[in-house]
């Protein structure tokens, strides 16, 4: 059995679904069900005895102790995180609580559990911590891509909190010998992505006839990774990754945000053309850039390919088409996640911006 935190969120739920599609090994799924945690993502697992969902906070030490002693997992995979930069600017405390305090509580509980395991089980146990390329800071246009040895230079409350959690995980390995693995991924996209992020927001707003908001000049560059490729990389790292090591996971797809927006518009023009014959790109509008917006992220994923034989299966062209098709086929899911709380947050984020648009991008 494995225990997954944050398994009702975007990446976590995709991982749980992929895991159980390929394995009969059960999953205990711990998620607090904040705004981005959505049990609808896991509806296909209803009644499946291999999936046990537990609603709870990663910072709840007593809950950790009960779950670990009861279920005796061979591995813990930590997807739980507050992960939206704009939200971290408006309300950083939640990011400190979940990403730092929560990671500390997890590490303490897992350390005690691991220390009490019999030798064979202790030797086989793993804690895999899922992190982000944003901990490395921002790159200039001509800089080489981030490697695993790049200096940490986080520039937002979100990335700073994730950097802190990465440091804690590393320290628990070097101080206590805890058998940890860390992955730092680039921007994910794909099914079940909450529509405050760039790609799903562009799809949802385009179909609703709303403006497509682009920060500044739209030339912020990101490396894009299809979420199911990320899941396969995590499985590979869990299987054969070297203890204490960090592995960058990227899609080898550096693209500026404005190009992403135009690609989405072009696909929608093909797959769901507007009745009036106009293109969706006419809805693109620029908005005031967010504070401290990193200009470029780029992941060098050579290490995971060289050591573990992993490469992404999807190109950006194939992955983005699958993503747009999924959102077109799942309008009910989109409607369900666009709650009043989400709309309230959008209003707060735009309260001081010189725009009347009804969405936000984060990439």
Report the alpha-carbon distance of residue 250 to residue 313 in Å, rounded.
Answer: 11
Please name the residue that has the structure tokens 């992505």.
Answer: 193
Helices (H), the chain: 10-22, 61-71, 85-90, 93-95, 103-116, 119-124, 157-176, 198-208, 227-240, 257-271, 302-308, 316-329, 331-337, 340-349
Helix (H, G, I), strand (E, B), or coil: what is residue 300? Answer: coil
Report the alpha-carbon distance of residue 26 to residue 3 in Å, rounded.
Answer: 9
Q: Count CA atoms closer than 13 A to 169's CA, side-chain side.
A: 30
Characterise 310 by phi-psi region: left (phi > 0), alpha (psi -120 to 50), beta (else): beta
Could you tell me the end-to-end alpha-carbon distance of the chain, in angstroms, rounded to an integer? 34
Answer for the pair 252, 304: CB distance below 8 angstroms, yes or no: no
Report the alpha-carbon distance of residue 321 to residue 269 in Å, rounded.
Answer: 12
Q: Which residues belong to the active site?
A: 133-134, 158
């Amino acid at each position: 059995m494995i225990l997954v935190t944050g398994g009702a969120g975007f990446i976590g739920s995709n991982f749980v679904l992929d895991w159980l599609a390929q394995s009969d090994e059960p999953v205990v799924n711990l998620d607090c069900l904040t705004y981005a945690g959505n049990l609808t993502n896991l509806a296909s697992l209803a009644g499946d005895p291999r999936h046990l969902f537990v609603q709870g906070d990663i910072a709840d030490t007593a809950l950790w102790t009960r779950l670990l002693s009861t279920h005796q997992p061979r591995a813990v995979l930590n997807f739980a995180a507050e992960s939206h930069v704009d939200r971290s600017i408006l309300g950083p405390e939640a990011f400190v609580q979940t990403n730092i305090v929560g990671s500390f509580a997890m590490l303490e509980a897992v350390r005690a559990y691991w220390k009490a395991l019999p030798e064979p089980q202790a030797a086989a146990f793993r804690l895999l911590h899922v992190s982000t390329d944003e901990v490395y800071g921002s790159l200039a246009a001509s800089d080489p891509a981030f490697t695993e040895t790049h200096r940490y230079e986080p520039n937002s409350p979100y990335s700073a909190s994730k950097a802190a959690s990465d440091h804690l995980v590393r320290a628990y390995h070097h101080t206590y010998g805890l058998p940890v693995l860390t992955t730092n991924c680039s921007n994910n996209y794909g099914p079940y992505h909450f529509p405050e992020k760039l790609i799903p927001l562009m799809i949802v707003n385009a179909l609703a006839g709303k403006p497509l908001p682009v920060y500044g000049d739209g030339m912020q560059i990101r490396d894009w990774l299809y979420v199911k490729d990320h899941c396969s990389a995590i499985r590979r790292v869990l299987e054969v990754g070297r203890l204490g090591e960090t592995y960058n996971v990227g899609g080898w797809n550096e693209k500026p945000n404005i190009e992403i927006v135009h690609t989405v518009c072009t696909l929608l023009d093909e797959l769901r053309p507007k009745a009036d014959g106009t293109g969706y790109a006419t809805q693109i509008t620029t908005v005031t850039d967010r504070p401290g917006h990193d200009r470029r992220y780029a992941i060098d994923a050579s290490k995971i390919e060289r050591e573990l034989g992993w490469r992404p299966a999807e190109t950006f062209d194939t992955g983005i088409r699958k993503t747009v098709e999924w959102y077109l086929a799942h309008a009910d899911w989109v409607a369900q996640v666009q709650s009043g709380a989400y709309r309230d947050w959008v209003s707060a984020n735009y309260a001081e911006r010189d725009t009347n648009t009804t969405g936000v991008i984060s990439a």
